[in-house]
Amino acid sequence: MQNDVRERRVARGLSQGDLGKVLSVSRQTINAIETGRYLPSLPLAISLARYFDASVEEMFRPDNGEVR
Amino acid sequence: MSDRMNNWSVQVMGMLAITAACVAVFWAAEGPEAALPFGAVLLAFTALVHFGRRRSNTLEVMSGTGDERVRSLYTRAVAIAGTVMSVRAAGLVARDGGSGRGERHARGAVRDLRRDVRGGDRGARAPQLGALPACRGGPGARAPGWHQFARSTQ
């Protein structure tokens, strides 16, 4: 699963810790999402998308064959 | 996991309850000389997890409190630990079947293993590892304590 959380966060001048505070998760969780090591829950994905004024599909894009 | 369980005070209270139950079981089975050190170890573990959870990611996962990623890791860790424990418990039950040594269940894996190495006799000297059948290999190589299970099923 690809995502552009890092690009959007950097574009807003936020650190991982800042974004984590806004979304009530840890800095490590933001890092894990950005590097693809952790797939956020649907509520957190929606929170991320709302914060960046985007849809979940725009922010998270499945790899080939990942979604049937 | 419910939000209520994601509270450090609930987790600490749970650990203290487990500690109290274990101390009670050991006290009843073997007396205070075995129960008090065991309780001290559990209390130290509880304190380590509680006070170390902000410094170490591993301890944070072990504490079971945190955001959704930590809780999902905690759930996985509990599932793995539960699988290991159930396999271990099944082994103890199988080995104890019919032997009338039910107290071995309460003594736990470490003490049970130590007893195996000592040849089932509490006071016996521990043999060299090479003297154990399981360490020599060959047709007689089985897990320590196998002979007890074999005897109990005859």
- What confidence tens digit (pLDDT) does each residue in B13-64 have? 999 999 999 999 999 988 999 899 999 999 999 999 999 988 888 888 888 8
Mean pLDDT over B65-91 rounds to: 89
In the predicted model, is pLDDT for residue B144 greater than 80?
Answer: no
In this prediction, residues B106-122 reach a mean pLDDT of: 58
Structure confidence at residue B109 (pLDDT): 56
Which segments of B31-145 does DSSP mark as H helices, in order?
A: 32-52, 57-63, 68-96, 103-117, 133-136
Residue B8's pLDDT is what? 82
Q: Does any CB of chain A come closer than 8 Å to the CB of residue B54?
A: no
Specify the pTM: 0.60
**What pLDDT does B20 receive?**
94
Higher pLDDT, B117 or A41: A41
Give the C-alpha separation, B64 to B140, whole Å. Answer: 44
pLDDT band per the 50, 70, 90 thresholds, residue B98: low
Task: Say whether B66 and A26 touch across the interface (CB within 8 A).
Answer: yes
Would you state the pLDDT for residue B124?
A: 45
**Residue B102 clears pLDDT 90, i.e. is over it:** no
Q: pLDDT in tens for each of the 68 residues of chain A?
A: 899 999 999 999 999 999 999 999 999 999 999 999 999 999 999 999 999 999 999 999 888 877 77
Q: How far out from the chain centre does Cα A57 lie?
A: 11
| Cross-strand partners of A3 | A60
Contact list in B for residue A29 (CB cut-off 8 A) is: 67-70
Q: Do A29 and B57 touch (CB under 8 A)?
A: no
Cβ atoms within 10 Å, residue A9: 19
Predicted local distance difference test score (pLDDT) of residue A1: 86
Give the model's confidence band at B154: pLDDT under 50 very low, under 70 low, under 90 confident, else very high: very low
Residue to substitute from A22, A29, A31, A33, interface B, most B β-carbons within 10 A:
A29
Residue B58 touches partner A, C-beta closer than 8 Å = no
Q: Give the pLDDT band (50/70/90) at residue B153.
A: very low
Contacts of B76 in chain A (CB under 8 A): none
Only one residue has tokens 């990942």, namely A66
